[in-house]
């Protein structure tokens, strides 16, 4: 099974919160994660917004490294329509 990781789940890998452990366990269980181009923008934006600059730089670097193993879904009209069918 391939997991789709949205921005809120991905952020938990780079920002420690009280409920970060479970999403990180789930994401770590799948070697091939899927996310959307929109999630990439949202994660980068929120890392910059939520972390001090020094931590945000390291978190963005870790995220960029992780992205190399992700499948990226482009959200065109056809993809959005298929998502509504499920």
Give the homologous superfamily in CATH for domain 7-84. Answer: 5'-nuclease (3.40.50.1010)
Q: Which of 77, 51, 73, 76 is nearest to 62 (CA)?
A: 51
Q: What is the pLDDT of residue 35?
A: 92
Whole-model pTM: value is 0.79
Average pLDDT over the chain reads 85
Give me the mean pLDDT over the 50-61 stretch: 95
- b/e sequence 23-47, b meaning 16+ C-beta within 10 Å: bbeebeeeeebebbeebbebbbebb
Domain boundaries of the chain, sorted by first residue:
7-84
Locus of tokens 């479970």: 22
């Amino acid at each position: 099974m391939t997991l789709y990781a949205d921005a809120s789940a991905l952020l938990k890998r780079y920002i420690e919160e009280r409920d970060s452990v479970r999403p990180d366990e789930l994401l770590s269980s799948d070697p091939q994660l899927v996310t959307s181009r929109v999630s990439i923008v949202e994660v980068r934006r929120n890392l910059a917004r939520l972390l001090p600059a020094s931590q945000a730089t390291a978190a963005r670097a870790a995220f960029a490294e992780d992205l190399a193993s992700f499948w990226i879904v482009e959200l065109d009209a056809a993809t959005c329509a298929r998502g509504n069918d499920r």
